[in-house]
Structure 1
Amino acid sequence: MSLTAIQNIARPTSIGLSSAVKRCLWVSSRAVIDAAARDGELRVFIFAGEVSGDTIGSRLMASLKKLSPFPIRFSGVGGSMMSKQGLQSLFPMEDIALMGIWELLPHLYNIRVRMKEAIEAALLFRPHVVVTVDLKGFSFRFLKQLRARYDEQRLDGSVHFHYVAPSFWAWKGGEARLKGLAKFVDHVLCILPNEEPVCRSNGLPATFVGHPILEDVLEGKETMADEWRIEGNGEDFRIKYDVPSGATVISLLPGSRLQEVTRMLPIFANTMQQLRDSYSELMNVILVAPNQHVDKYVSRAIHNWPVPAIPIPGGTPYLKYDAFNVRHSNLNCVLIISSQSNCD
């Protein structure tokens, strides 16, 4: 979905992440506030298994720290962005960031081990709130098994939030599956406005909190922007990275998971090899997701890259948009090649 489309959807109804979280905490369980007041702290177990989830999770953590009337303590699994907010991940997020059945099969045992570790850690932490971010396959199994353990041990348990509703609108009979989630998910934080009423009509409490990409627009701004747009500074990017004024810049987005990057980057390299004779000053900007395995792989790959390449680290949205705004002095355009993945 394009940025413009997301803007048009979210602009009239978005209530803002911070206020939405505050309202959700109140609506889902007053007992959470009472328990946190009794314990003198709010304990949140948060789980993200992908780069996009790491970004969402870090922003949620920052908002909760601002909103909570009590000292807040986090435990769980996340990446570099969540670690900046104070999370010490139980294990590397990349251990479960797998895609596709064939990539998954060789790692099933390790995933089961990580699942058990996460459940035991959550029980030991005794959180007031559990938040899983996207990664529905792992997240829903985790929440379901965790609730079963509450029942076995006759514990009151935690309030379970899931951030990013499953794409029920893309499945045949997807809406009907929502009813089953209410057994172990107490509240869904939706990123598209049409998702909230559908979840609620199927017995699953939900709140629309706005699309994460809109926070790229607002990040670093003190007031709400009049126009929902990001205008990168291509000239600053040229100066910073010494990009010749006549260069043709092609931006590459190889993905955020190691499996897709190892598949896509050689294809991109071969494409650049074929294109370099057609352009005298061809350069690449490669967006590198904040994934330690991806970072290492890309760093090795660009040593033998067929054209000059500038790696852009993940977690730097404005630098990314600066790169997108670089203009060729004659063509007045920049080509962006993506693997259809989000390199946050």
Structure 2
Amino acid sequence: MTTILGIESSCDETGAAVVVDGHTILSNVVASQIDLHAQYGGVFPEVASRAHIEAISAVVRQALDDAGVTLGDIDAVAVTRGPGLAGSLLVGVNYAKGLALGRGLPLVGVNHLEGHVYSLWLVERDTPIVFPVVCLIVSGGHSEIVLITGHGEYTVLGSTIDDAAGEAYDKVARLLGLPYPGGPAIERTARDGSATAYHFPRALSGDGYNFSFSGLKTAVLRAVQPPHEGPRPAKGEGMTSSQRRDDINVPDVAASFQAAVVDVLVDKTVRAAQEHGATELWIAGGVSANQALRAAMTERSPVPVRVPPMKLCVDNAAMIAAAGYFRYLHGYRDDQAMDILPMWPLVSIKDAMTQAE
């Protein structure tokens, strides 16, 4: 039995968790900063890093207490090394280094995107997972289609060339005067609207697996602003009634926008699964909580679809501990010289070990 303490601080959630053998969650504590950042309409990096400093010790203590273990029961410390906000990552990595050094524990740096992948290993399943699988990772900062051929073996088939899906949700929510975070707000509003009221573009809908949502965001802006367009709303502010066209039905815009995002995500991911012989299709990351995306993917996928429970869609440390467990089994170790990697791409564990040498 291998017990991993996971620590997550890549963006605006401070998380700590204890996971056994990569799949059994003993505890999973998350301190959210949503209320802190809502006034800005998005994550304010300096505020985020300071909030992590204030929360991390208490969160780790609670995770250990909830799991009924002490640091003496921990076999390794896994921590998000990147990608993410530099200031936020520093808090988690330095705290993890201190714990590892003080207790003589192995230290394992984990890629945040890999963590989202391993959120699927924390779910009870009726049938075993057989590789290869295709995973769509969708969150506020990432939209990627990944081919997974084994534990720690990844090939990124496509990614966003501009805005990520979650980022587009946040920006469009501001345009519509909806609250932050934009994903849940647009999903709720879209339930009362028509997905065919507006025909928004499906960018890069042809060959390839890359995404582009910047043009979609601009199309929504042009649809909702009057011809004599005034100044765009400042960051953290939504459009006022005087800045929106009088004939705009916000639920219709929200539903049509969401349909455009879901169509592209589903089309490309399903095609990737078909073309690479995937046995299953996975969705992970914050946007995987979107019910329209889940329903459309399940309906159109030729293979079984797995999604994490809602509580594991958001950033959390249990997924980092799970990913850290498999890195630990592969012999992956970091030392006290480990630095953060804010732009760290998702690479196979063997490649990551080679780069670290």
TM-score, structure 1 normalization: 0.32
Going by fraction, where is helix more abundant, 1 or 2?
A: 1
Structure with greater Cα Rg: 1
Bigger relative contact order (CA 8 A; separation at least 6): 2
TM-score, with structure 2 as normaliser: 0.32
